[in-house]
Chain A
Amino acid sequence: MATINLLPTDFAPTGRVVQFANLLRSAIIVGFVFFAMLVLTLIGIFVFNSISLQNAISRQNQLKDSIKAQEATEQKLVLVKDRLGRAKEILGQENTSDQAQKLEQLLAGLADVSLTQSEIVAGKSELNFLATTPSGLTNLLARLKTSGLFEKITLSSFNFNPTTGYQVNITATKK
């Protein structure tokens, strides 16, 4: 039986419009499905992260308890680090003690030479030597030159006394 449309033609939408409306409807359905999936995914991730966060906080609390139990060790470690910092500061200060070792090295095995007077302060040494023989004097000067114990050596005075010997006064700077 033939379909008879008695309505005027301008009362019904055109075919293209109907097609577009159908397309829009399909897009909306797809959009809503996508939205629903997105929401579900977000909720899933949110729940998973919440559980992970709770676990992390729980592990943190366990670790905090363990650290608190080792508080004495932590105190000692802080103390050691503090003392080492202080010690480094002190050890970095000027110390003329090692100059004594240099004098020992300088005079070791030197015959006919003695150190009569010396003043050591802040890396600078004023040394008065007495060499009783010319060979002693030669050896002393050679040792001063070759030992490399001091950075700079200045001959302050040089005297000869027939009864005592050669008096050599030098100013040596710490290396």
Chain B
Amino acid sequence: MATLVIRKSLIPASINAIVAPFLLLVALIILLSFGLKIGLTRLSSQLDQLSEANKDENALRTKEGLLREVGTSVLSQADLTSGAVPPKNPVLTVVSQLKNLSLSGGITLSNLKAGSSSKGEGGLGMVEISFDAEGPFPAVLDFIRAISSFSPITTVEKVSLNQTAGAARATISLRSFWAPFPVKIPSVTEPIAGLTDEEKKTLSKIQTLTPPPYTQVAPSGPLQRADPFSF
């Protein structure tokens, strides 16, 4: 005959009934908290990356648009500004400009001297040029005034003027400047700005300067001789 043995558990039946659901609930809470933490951290980091990528893209788009926009005008501006502040000592160009100016104004130049060049802060080089200018008084004044109107940018440091019987003699000291070209361009991702209002103002001042009259010598290559034996 079969015997039914019922043993009473040490854990009360009421507690036994909620242990399993309770453990599952704890597991769910742990899963939710860890899952949420990991998921949200990853998502946040991905959103940061996306935001950074969008920012970089906008910066690149702006840069690309700017380069496309200035592409046509920047070439002439580069020539103009490089003439105004050349990369090397511009003493010969300045002397040439002075000679041209004196010829057009009926002024005689003498005692032309160029001092030793010096470099200031930020690599800005400077050379001092002194000379005597003789001519009719108004023409000499015009000449002094016109010195600041040619390229490379030249400033008048000192003027001593003597006038006798309508003729004037001025001893003039000038300063002309140069600076080496930049050797580094910003990286592709680095943003670049267009010309500011201040820079446009300076550019418009430079545009009024008279550039040096460079002449281009045509190459005198070997001429073609039809018959090499005929001299």
Contacts and interface: CB of A to CB of B under 8 A. Distances in A.
Contacts of B43: 42, 45-46, 49
B180 to A, nearest CB: 10
Nearest to B173: A121
Given A78-B182, A78-B186, A98-B148, A73 B50 contact: no
B50 A77 contact: no
Interface stretch (B53-61, B111-119, B211-219): B53-61
Most buried by B among A60, A82, A84, A98: A84
A13 B202 contact: no
B124 A14 contact: no
Contacts, number: 235
Nearest to A45: B43
Given A31-B25, A35-B28, A83 B85 contact: yes
B67 A77 contact: yes
Given A75-B185, A95-B148, A97-B155, A39 B74 contact: no
Contact of A95 (B16, B57, B71, B156): B156
B57 A60 contact: yes
Contacts of A64: 60, 188-189
Contact of B162 (A94, A101, A117): A117
Given A79-B78, A87-B84, A17 B182 contact: no
B17 A21 contact: yes
A104 interface: yes
Contacts of A7: 6
B195 A21 contact: no
Contacts of B153: 87, 90-91
Nearest to B61: A63
Which size class do B's interface residues fall under?
35 or more
Contacts of B68: 70
A28 interface: yes
Given A42-B43, A74-B192, A75-B185, A63 B60 contact: yes
B103 interface: no
Contact of A11 (B8, B67, B158): B8
Interface residues of A, number: 77
Contacts of A75: 185
Dominant secondary structure of chain B at its interface with chain A:
helix
B198 interface: yes
A135 interface: no
A116 B162 contact: yes
B31 A80 contact: no
A13 B20 CA distance: 14
Given A64-B188, A73-B71, A28 B157 contact: no
A97 B145 contact: yes
Contact of B46 (A46, A87, A114): A46
Interface stretch (A51-59, A140-148, A153-161, A167-175): A51-59
Contacts of B192: 74, 77-78
A118 interface: yes
Interface string B2-35: 0000101000111011100110110011011001
Contact of A70 (B46, B71, B145): B71
23 contacts: A28-B25, A39-B35, A50-B46, A64-B188, A67-B63, A73-B74, A74-B185, A76-B75, A80-B74, A81-B195, A81-B199, A82-B181, A84-B81, A84-B202, A86-B177, A89-B124, A96-B158, A100-B156, A100-B159, A114-B163, A116-B162, A119-B160, A121-B157
